[in-house]
Amino acid sequence: MEKMMVGLSLALSAIVWGQKGPVKTNLTPYSYQTFNCDNKGYFDASKYEIEEIDGVNKLLYKFNGVHFDTNPIFKLSSLEEVRRNKDQHLENLERQYQEKKEELYSLKVINQPVWKKLYENAIQTFENEYELNKEEIIAFSDPSTLRNSKFYETCRESIDAISSPDREKMFASWKAYTELKSKNNADPQGVMNRFDLKMNDPQKEDYALIDMIGLSFHNCANSSFRQRRDDEGTVYKDFDRIFTKLKKNCDEP
């Protein structure tokens, strides 16, 4: 009987020692700001590195939007200035590009499909925005350069009108674009009245270029590489799910 009890005791000991202990998590505090909230939570350092968390954070809240500080052209005086100082504008754009590219391309992100895709999209958007800004600066001085645009196949109709030596073709396209835009305006007749004033102005060609390059072409090209808003909302929620005990301190809207 004593031998049986000793054997049973050894067997139970073997079972206990053979069982794995509880999985330990290394919870690390992390704070980040969203558009109107201060967020504090914890992430599992056994799954993620702080550099990966920081990289995704920057993709969502720093590299998601307009990357370059450029002056939109809405007035004749602005058009004349960008033509007069074209080289300076191009140099400024290039300087911003190199500075931001170094940071963006050196980011480390979480090795999961959703974040790798987000990173790829951010790089593509960044490169496309740079190219679009450069093309516009040059085109305001020489509209024919848009025939070689990266976005030609996407925005063929606008580009063909802008770059055509037949100015009447551009004016017709300008009027059609303005009429379409006026339908979504609270004062459609007011939009067309302002168009008529520009159309009868001695500098009507410049007015046409402002709208056709800065609005028609820009909006067409820009919409071709921007991420859809529905997709954006999902990744923000995915980022929040990385953290446990997440607390949000939000400003009132």
Say what the pTM is. 0.85
Mind listing the pLDDT tens digit for each residue in 105-125? 999 999 999 999 999 999 999
- Helices of type H across 74-112: 76-84, 86-105
CB under 8 Å to 150, separation ≥6 — which residues? 128, 131, 132, 135
Q: Phi and psi (nearest 5°) for 243? A: -100, 145
157-172 in b/e burial notation, b at 16+ Cβ within 10 A?
ebbebbbeeeeeebbe
pLDDT score at 118: 94
Q: How confident is the model at residue 16 (pLDDT cuts 50, 70, 90)?
A: very low
Q: How confident is the model at residue 36 (pLDDT cuts 50, 70, 90)?
A: confident
User: Do β-strands 244-250 and 27-33 pair in parallel, antiparallel, or remain unpaired?
Assistant: unpaired
How far is the CA of 215 from the CAs of 135, 181, 200, in angstroms? 14, 10, 20
pLDDT score at 14: 44
Mind listing the pLDDT tens digit for each residue in 190-216? 999 999 999 999 999 999 999 999 999
The Cα–Cα gap between 54 and 46 comes to 16
Higher-pLDDT residue of 20 and 127 is 127
Strand partners, 27: 44
Helix (H, G, I), strand (E, B) or coil at 31: strand
For the chain, the residue count is 253
Mind listing the pLDDT tens digit for each residue in 176-195? 999 999 999 999 999 999 99
